Amino acid sequence: MIKAVVFDAGGVLVDLNLDDCRNAFKRVLGFEKIDVLLDPCHQKGIYGDMEEGRISADEFVAEVLAESRPGSTPEMVKNCMCALFKGIRPSKVALLKSLAERGYDLYILSNNNEIAWTQFQRIFLDAGIPIDQTFRKSYLSCRMGVLKPDPAIFNMVIEDLGLEPGEILFVDDSERNATAACAAGMKGLHYDVGTDLAALVDSEL
């Protein structure tokens, strides 16, 4: 019996537009390397290092500025990063409210960074579902020091929740991450972006 539903954030709950983000880095900053760093699920290079907590957000920004056109600022870098995030669809807001009303504990487990997380909090607040009120806890890779699909991150979440792994449903738009959750004993679901998230989740509850 499922007691907790754990969602990936970007791609599952919050819509992403990688092209807008890449174009912003190139147009605003002249930072061409973004094509190598940015990925829907598993960021590369210094972006991945930031999301794993190997470097801080400020260090990431400094690295980007070092290879950007003169006059670029930290705020410009942050704005370019936030161009990735496009809000939450009303159907997903309704799903989260429905799950809470039905008694399921909701959580987030996300490969994420502090700059993006600030924007995520604004997006959820604007959608009428503040993160701290909607989710019992948010697990962020940059704070945990490990990225999905490393088995360690799933084991840390399982231990912290204090539930049997089979009582936890995990939803991610990365098939690698969903498979890793299954290997840890969770019920992992791969969400195909653009499909009916509510129908997918309800199929396992």
137 bridge partner residues? 107
CA–CA separation, 148 vs 109, rounded Å? Answer: 9
For residue 8, indicate whether it is catalytic. Answer: yes
Active site residue: 8, 49, 105, 172, which one? Answer: 8
Report residue 107: phi and psi, to 5°: -140, 160
Tokens read off for 136: 């019992």
109 bridge partner residues? 139
CA–CA separation, 119 vs 189, rounded Å? Answer: 26
Q: How many CB atoms lie within 10 A of CB 103?
A: 7
* Catalytic machinery residues: 8
